[in-house]
Amino acid sequence: MLILPLPARPDWSRPPLATLAIMALCLIAFLIQGGDYQRMADASRFYQQSGIGRMEMAAYLADLERAGEKEKLAALRRSTARNSGVEAFQAMERDNDFIDRLRRDQVITPEHPDHAAWRSKRDRYEALRERVVTEHYSLSSRDPRPVTLLTHMFLHGGLMHLAGNMAVLFVVGYTVEAALGPLGFLALYLLGGLGASVPDVLMPASELQLSLGASGAISAVMAAYLVLFGLRRITFFYWLVFVLGTVRWPAVAILPLWLANELLQNFVFDTEGRTNYMAHFGGLVSGALLVGLYRWRRHGRSADIVHRQDDEEAVAALLAQAARQVAELNFGPAALTYRKLLDEHPGTDAQSIVEYRRIAGLARQPELLADANRRVLQAAAERGRSASPALLAEVVQELPAALPKLAAVQWETLLARLIDDGRLDGAERLLLRLFPIREFRPIAVRQAARLADAFIARGEAGRAAPIQRLANSVAAQAAAASR
């Protein structure tokens, strides 16, 4: 069974630096692992040529005989006769109890006449084996060294293992990193990888077993993705035997399926496989708990990116609804839909405000048109959300007797825009509307001089003079009132 969230489009203006760095580290580690075949060959050659292989095999067979392991002993002797003892040496390497006693000088003891020579060669062989990156830095379930708890999550067993893990990491990684930030994402990856190693540490295998790969840490990232999105419905790709397709489910509803799949694979369907399903299970639990804690600290709120995506979907749905209503010539309902959009999502782009005004005009509803004009003026007064100069002048021309409620600074911004854009007729009309209103007179006086200069520059000094006289009169009245 395979269930994966379909990726959203990455925002390359804010690249997922931590995700890309982890992918780069895994690739570098894999390239370094590429020399392991030669390193292992050098160690094996020394092991055989130095003679310690024969000595240790003899000790191993004698140990099995003393322990009464007659069937195992007979099988190893038959194997030795068939293929020069390759399987016997592999069985000896997997016998953790024997290897542990061998290294502690409890098999070939110091009293043995060849102990000193054997110990020297054994130490040399151990040093050669430690150069094998995959073996030395993978997590051993029987001997979990602190460094391997970290390094095992950057190693891989083959090219397909690496490619599959990196693809899944990128699909979910850039979204989770956008939510948590690079440092938060890195902490999640590392702590999730540690959590994935817990089953190996608590339930060590009876034989030598090495755990490696990013999949445990990636499982933590995947679970974090689900918990971040919570009950929000997202699209998943699924593949079950011969059936595949997509489905929209609440994100967190997939988590129990993933957890159950790992347990079933480990204990029922693939008990002899090499995939470490319990590491996946541990990673899923760790990631879910870590991001559950993150959301609890935020009083149940998820990351901002999740809310932004919710807003984007809601905006898209309202726009689609308005488009259907316009196509059916239901301009009144369409205008109401736009008004709802702008009320519920005030950060919507200015183009939606312009479209709202157009539809309100087609609906021939003065109340909606007045509301749309007010929104156009507000958008034009805000930095970065501007209407076109022609539209702004048109809206000013349509101003009702009672001016829309805008702050003085917004009216001054609109006046200045009209003057700067050369829409002097509209600026003059707006200026004359503002002069009678006491609270707007200071801004009208300030902008009157600019408008008069603009008329003079355009060769219309006759239109400039009345504005200058009006401004001077208002200024004089204000000065007299202040004495």
Residue 13 has pLDDT above 80, yes or no: no
What pLDDT does 468 receive?
Answer: 83
Q: What is the mean pLDDT of residues 201-212?
A: 76
Q: For 369-382, what is each residue's pLDDT tens digit? A: 888 888 888 888 87
Statement: residue 119 has pLDDT above 60: yes
Q: What's the pLDDT tens digit per position in 83-94?
A: 666 778 888 888
Strand-pair category, 139-140 with 2-5: unpaired
Residue 108's pLDDT is what? 92
What pLDDT, on a 0 to 100 scale, did the predictor assign at position 482?
59
Q: Which residues pair with 235 in a beta bridge?
A: 248
Predicted pLDDT of residue 154:
96
The 10s digit of each residue's pLDDT in 46-59 is 998 998 888 998 89
pLDDT (0 to 100) of residue 386: 61
Please return the burial class of 190, using the count of CB atoms within 10 Å of its CB with bins 0-12, 13-18 and 19+. Answer: middle
Asked if residue 96 has pLDDT above 70, the reply is: yes
Position 280 pLDDT exceeds 90: yes
At residue 385 the predicted structure's pLDDT band, cuts being 50, 70 and 90, is low
DSSP H or E stretch at residue 451:
helix 441-457
Locate the domains of the chain by residue range: 2-17+155-302, 34-137, 303-387, 401-483
Q: Quote the pLDDT of residue 194.
A: 96
pLDDT value for 84: 63
467 exposure class (CB count in 10 Å sphere: 0-12, 13-18, 19+): buried
Neighbouring residues of 207: CB distance < 8 A, sequence distance ≥ 6: 94, 95, 96
- In this predicted structure, the answer to whether residue 135 has a pLDDT above a threshold of 60 is yes
Q: What is the mean predicted confidence (pLDDT) over 225-238?
A: 86
| pLDDT at residue 483 greater than cutoff 70 | no
**Residue recorded with tokens 């890309």:** 20
Per-residue model confidence as pLDDT tens digits over 338-362 = 999 888 887 777 888 889 889 999 9
What Å distances lie between residue 205 and 72, 200, 262, 452, CA to CA?
19, 8, 18, 90
Q: Could you tell me the pTM of the whole model?
A: 0.66
| Per-residue pLDDT at 213 | 92
* pLDDT at residue number 187: 96
pLDDT of residue 480: 60
CB 165 within 8 A of CB 64: no
Percent of the chain clearing pLDDT 90 (strictly above)? 36
Please, which pLDDT band fits residue 410 given cuts at 50, 70 and 90?
confident
Residue 108 contacts residue 57 (beta carbons within 8 Å): no
- pLDDT at 160 (0 to 100): 93
The tokens for 345 are: 């999502």
